[in-house]
Amino acid sequence: MIQIELQVLSPQETDIQTQLYNMRLSEMEQWMESLGQPKFRAKQVFTWLYKKRAISVSEMTDLPQALREHLQRSTVIRTMKEITRQVSKKDGTTKFLFQLRDGATVETVLMRHNYGNSVCVSTQVGCRMGCTFCASTLGGLIRNLTAGEIVEQIMAVQRMLDEEGARVSSVVLMGSGEPLENYEPSMRFVDIITNPYGLNIGARHITVSTSGLVPAIRRLADEKRQITLAISLHAPNDELRTSLMPINRAWNVEQLMDAARYYFAQTGRRISFEYALIGGVNDQLPQARELAELVKGLPCHINLIPVNYVPERNWKRSSKEDIRAFVDELNRLGVNATVRREMGSDIAAACGQLRAQKEGRV
């Protein structure tokens, strides 16, 4: 049985040097003042980092020489390196495997849509949620990522897009890990990339996914951020959801739905429910009807996801006929539901698969 602490966890800071990507603008302003510098130096540094994509302090030529020398001694910008990149020949989806300073690896995915470029970032190395259809959990949780390590993922993708004259238009925290377990760094990341001096990505273009950490959902609701909350539901009742997602033993479906309604009441933001369709497990019409009843009265969208095949799990994808019947039944019952467009099917596009391959676990 999975054990979930009620208090969300933060990563341990082990770096001696300060990673510049790890600071909110307000924190960098305070830091500059502690160095005897005016606050506006922080905006200059932010502009160099996020607008001009500087990869070294030496590029920041409008900073005083003494400050540049101090930053070169005491800070870092990039702490990870790209070790693998896969590009889909079908749709251009690009998956990156990055190695962090301690040798751990994380995945990041660029998805190209006709409405813009979306980047899926990881928030932890591995995951301990134990969802039976996900490759991210196979090796367990290694550690949390810092905010700077999450920011660095999106900056690496943005630099690649710069070569095409394109930009990141939306971000999803849906890669490896549970963002709301690594709460503080995940929200720090959101604050950094939404800042006008940062990447200036609108909060409504950011989606945070959770497997169902109810206290963290309520905390997020109280902060009234205008991000989109995506809840991994995957089953309409406790018996089935517990068999797929051990976290349901800690917070059951009723508690999760209460938290979802509280989130909508506090923020006015429509909830997105993720529902992985698994052949013969959760994809039949009675379950569609039960799901419709469960979300009745809550402004939401059901995102149906034909499950990716994971060798260790042996789950089978629903048939096209069952998928169509399921979504049609939800729509007939007045539920806004669509089937997620499949992207990167010719590469290791499912969360955790590329990392698992690199480590020889698949």
* 176 φ, ψ (degrees, to nearest 5): -65, 135
Catalytic residue among 107, 181, 274, 329: 107
Annotation marks residue 127 as catalytic: no
- Other C-beta atoms lying within 10 Å of the C-beta of residue 24: 18
Separation of alpha carbons 245 and 235, rounded Å: 9
Catalytic residue among 120, 131, 134, 351: 351
> The tokens of 322 are what?
């069952």
Separation of alpha carbons 170 and 117, rounded Å: 7
DSSP per residue, 125-168: EE--S--TT-GGGTT-EEEEPPHHHHHHHHHHHHHHHHTTT--E
Are residues 119 and 171 in contact, defined by beta-carbon separation less than 8 angstroms?
yes
Are residues 148 and 22 in contact, defined by beta-carbon separation less than 8 angstroms?
yes
Annotation marks residue 107 as catalytic: yes
User: Do the bridges between strand 124-126 and strand 116-120 make them parallel or antiparallel, or are there none, so unpaired?
Assistant: unpaired
Are residues 120 and 335 in contact, defined by beta-carbon separation less than 8 angstroms?
no
* Tokens 């990339």, located at residue: 193
| Active-site residue list | 107, 351
